[in-house]
Amino acid sequence: MDRKKVNLPNIVKLYEAGERISMLTAYDYPSAAIADAAGIEIILIGDSLGMVVNGYKNTLPVTVEEVIYHTRAVVRAAEYSFVVADMPFLSYQTGIHDALYNAGRMLKEGGAEAIKLEGGSAMAETIKAIVHADIPVMGHIGLTPQSIHRMGGYRIQGRDEKSYNILLQDALAVEAAGAFAIVLEGIPGTLAKEITSKLHIPTIGIGAGKDVSGQVLVFHDLLGLSGHKQPTFVKQYAQLKDIAVNAIQQYVKDVKEGVFPGAEHTYK
Ligand code: KIV
């Protein structure tokens, strides 16, 4: 595997060569080191960290400081992967100045190489301003978790003709605003395919089928670490939670029975 660090021009090259792009979330040093060693091209410090790592019910409570904290840890491990930090709720919706300032903090204080934000046409001016400051932006449309209350839950978007066409326009607006890529989350495969065929930037799907330029999953979902029932779009490649619980149960037993520590774990 070529271990030269992935940068933005490399991602453009992958897209132009028709090679599918792999993206995964990570939130700390060990998870990022694992993703990096596995050859993931883009690591996202998703605001999903609020739910996955901190146990919040949704992503809304996540702060800029939390994303920066987690981004710093990820950046230290990312020798290969390109690092994208997610803009949390209210860090960019309150105006272009706030958006630019907080996006800048992700690079300046977190060490990220790009930011991601949710929203389509309504965010076009914001994306333009951030890109104008030479901060690469990844868009995110469809089932946008920060809009949970408007959507009435985590519901697949773009199923009826009206929202299908709105999402198509949103994708075009995000591209025209200068985003280098766009996440398509929770939309029908047919819509993702049409968006992908109309855009000239990579589309990264999550619950959007296979006709996109790349895929993203949440680290804990992919590895079976969360223990929750997973949505249809998740493929669990391992069941690490079971393995971890078994290992720790064995440790508890060894402690109770006085089997651990053995002589080999004891200083002479
Ligand atoms: O926060 C996140 O993890 C995300 C990805 C699922 C795209 O936004």
Q: Is 95 left (phi over 0), alpha (psi -120 to 50) or beta?
A: left
- At residue 229, the pLDDT reads 85
- At residue 2, the pLDDT reads 56
Active site (catalytic) residues: 185
- At residue 30, the pLDDT reads 98
CA-to-CA dists, residue 105 to 6, 27, 102, 109, 136, angstroms: 21, 17, 5, 5, 13
Say what the pTM is.
0.97
- At residue 226, the pLDDT reads 87
Domain definitions of the chain by residue range? 8-237, 240-268
- Low pLDDT (below 50) residues in the chain: none
Tens of pLDDT along 96-153?
999 999 999 999 999 999 999 999 999 999 999 999 999 999 999 999 999 999 999 9
CA angle 255, 257, 258 (to 5 degrees): 65
- At residue 29, the pLDDT reads 98
Q: Is the CB of 206 under 6 A from ligand 1?
A: yes
Q: What are the DSSP calls for 25-77, one per residue?
A: E--SHHHHHHHHHTT-SEEEE-TTHHHHTT--SSSTT--HHHHHHHHHHHHHH
CA angle 81, 183, 95 (to 5 degrees): 100
- At residue 3, the pLDDT reads 85
Q: Is the CB of 28 under 6 A from ligand 1?
A: no
CA of 48 to the centre of ligand 1 (A): 6
Q: What is the CATH number of domain 8-237?
A: 3.20.20.60
- At residue 221, the pLDDT reads 97
